[in-house]
Chain A
Amino acid sequence: DAMVIQNPRYQVTQFGKPVTLSCSQTLNHNVMYWYQQKSSQAPKLLFHYYDKDFNNEADTPDNFQSRRPNTSFCFLDIRSPGLGDAAMYLCATSRDLDRERYFGPGTRLTVL
């Protein structure tokens, strides 16, 4: 089945230690997104790639970066995680900007 895969499902890091979260897709979609979701809240868009074009949300902290080396993979890098960055991180894809988004299962990040 075509799908969105996120690894790892659970990630524990230390305060200030860089961490990378991974997302891959077999849907061959043009757009890939990263969302942050804190407990009992709606997902919040951090940024998205349309093909190789990167689009950052205005309120996304500089601490968050992303890479998309090819169509299938997209990475979220948190350069210096703080306690406030503990959250579920959701990757999503869509065929185009105006199409529905398909979400991966998420990575739960814990910052000690």
Chain B
Amino acid sequence: AQSVTQPDIHITVSEGASLELRCNYSYGATPYLFWYVQSPGQGLQLLLKYFSGDTLVQGIKGFEAEFKRSQSSFNLRKPSVHWSDAAEYFCAVGILTGGGNKLTFGTGTQLKVEL
């Protein structure tokens, strides 16, 4: 079964600083890859996705992520963090199975932004 690891449970950065959130997955083939953001008491908003093609993916709110097959990673980056980026970030891996589809979430990274 596939698994998703987000090694950082909490990250604190200063406003204006750069950000990188790590995501590693375990799966035999190339899965579909996603990053979602969740503000307190809200649903999940899709930041970006990777299905195939260019391994550097641009998303909303100035975020980007890079798929590195050799490292089984899909890290999320932003060059300059804004206070409004404080939220929880989930990496997710999707694969198609014979019985349907499976989307596995990481445990999330809580981002705190210091002013």
Q: Give A contacts to B, CB under 8 Å.
A: 4, 6, 40-43, 45, 48, 50, 55, 88, 90, 92, 97-98, 100-106, 108
Contact = CB atoms under 8 A, between A and B. Distances in A.
B46 A102 contact: yes
A44 B29 CA distance: 23
A106 B106 contact: no
Contact of A90 (B34, B44, B106): B44
- The bracket for how many chain B residues form the interface is 20 to 34
Give the interface centre of A4, A48, A100, A102 by most chain B CB atoms within 10 Å.
Answer: A100
Those 4 A-B pairs whose CB atoms lie nearest each other, nearest first: A42-B105, A103-B43, A97-B101, A103-B44
Nearest to B100: A55
Nearest to B90: A42
Nearest to A101: B103
Given A103-B36, A103-B44, A106-B43, 5 more contacts: A40-B108, A50-B100, A97-B96, A97-B100, A106-B42
13 contacts: A4-B43, A40-B108, A42-B108, A43-B44, A43-B105, A88-B41, A98-B32, A100-B32, A100-B49, A101-B103, A103-B44, A105-B42, A106-B41
B96 A41 contact: no
B53 interface: no
B43 A105 contact: yes
Contact of B41 (A97, A103, A104, A108): A108
